[in-house]
Amino acid sequence: MIVTAVLSLIFALLLVFDNTKASDLNGLLIFFIVVGEASIPVFLLSVVLYIDSSVYIKRLEKNHFKVPERKKDYENDLSKVERIEVVENRFAKDSKIASCVALLMYVIFVILDILYFVKWSKLGEGDSAAALLIPLLVFHLIFLVLALIFRKQQDPKLYVDDVDIKDHRKVRKSITAAIGLLIFLGLIAAFSVATAHSMTDYVHKSKQVDYEG
């Protein structure tokens, strides 16, 4: 995370302060630009993993596990870790939070889809907008599906926390994993709406050119 943060920072500084033309770039600058740009997604992923790991350790402690310094000491088996008190499903409410966030994102993107259709219908592009509206609505249903899945995971009879002793029940998504997934899908969904606007705008402008011709 630290290495990719430094490389990403160098890349950002080059973009801000370097006015060298592309044809005048030397090999070292090109190296830092390529490596720095590639480091950005790795850095973001590292941050997510770091936060998720930190939250997991804190949750182990709240569940009264005496966290060892090395995972090899308990062979990744929580049942072998010393424990002061037995509790489980302490974080089941996080599934409710994730469900509400997913439902909110679904409502937001449906509103954006409707606004997209209304905007271009008023400009005479109702047919082309309708053709893109259907796949948009279908794709954004994924947030509604996730909301229902997360809501189901609240049930302690069917699911346990990732910091609980595993048994016949399934492991529910942690809040960090759920929010991370929703952010990732949210970015894709936002890109899909922006792309729909761009495509419809292109069609609209091409018609204007034809009319002027």
| pLDDT surpassing 90 at residue 80 | no
Measure the CA–CA gap between 61 and 93, rounded to whole angstroms.
18
Do 36 and 121 sit in the same domain of this protein? no
| Digit-coded pLDDT (tens) for 1-41 | 899 888 888 888 877 776 555 445 566 667 777 787 888 88
Supply the angle between the helices 93-122 and 175-212 in degrees, to the nearest 10: 0
| Digit-coded pLDDT (tens) for 148-205 | 999 999 999 999 998 888 889 999 999 999 998 999 999 999 999 999 999 898 888 8
| pLDDT surpassing 50 at residue 144 | yes
Q: Within a domain: residue 117?
A: yes
Do 122 and 198 sit in the same domain of this protein? yes
Backbone angles phi, psi at 20, to 5 degrees: -70, 135
Residue 23 confidence (pLDDT): 47
Do 202 and 115 sit in the same domain of this protein? yes
Do 100 and 35 sit in the same domain of this protein? no
Q: Report the number of distinct structural domains present in the chain.
A: 2
The angle subtended at Cα 138 by Cα 137 and Cα 141, nearest 5°, is 85
Q: Within a domain: residue 67?
A: no
Do 53 and 93 sit in the same domain of this protein? no
Do 196 and 141 sit in the same domain of this protein? yes
- Token pair of 149 as six digits: 């899945």
Q: Which domain holds residue 119?
A: 88-212
Where are the alpha helices (H) located in 18-125, listed in sequence order? 27-62, 93-122
Q: Within a domain: residue 64?
A: no
| pLDDT surpassing 50 at residue 71 | yes
Q: Within a domain: residue 76?
A: no
| pLDDT surpassing 60 at residue 94 | yes
Do 50 and 102 sit in the same domain of this protein? no
Do 207 and 122 sit in the same domain of this protein? yes
Q: Within a domain: residue 62?
A: no
Residue of higher predicted confidence among 15 and 129: 129
Q: Within a domain: residue 135?
A: yes
Residue 18 confidence (pLDDT): 62
**Residue where one domain finishes, among candidates 34, 57, 80:** 57
Q: Within a domain: residue 71?
A: no
| Average of per-residue pLDDT across 104-128 | 92
Do 12 and 103 sit in the same domain of this protein? no
Q: Within a domain: residue 157?
A: yes
| Digit-coded pLDDT (tens) for 36-57 | 788 888 888 899 889 988 888 8
| pLDDT surpassing 60 at residue 58 | yes
46-50, 67-71, 95-99, 198-202: range with lowest mean pLDDT:
67-71
Confidence of residue 74 (pLDDT cuts 50, 70, 90): confident
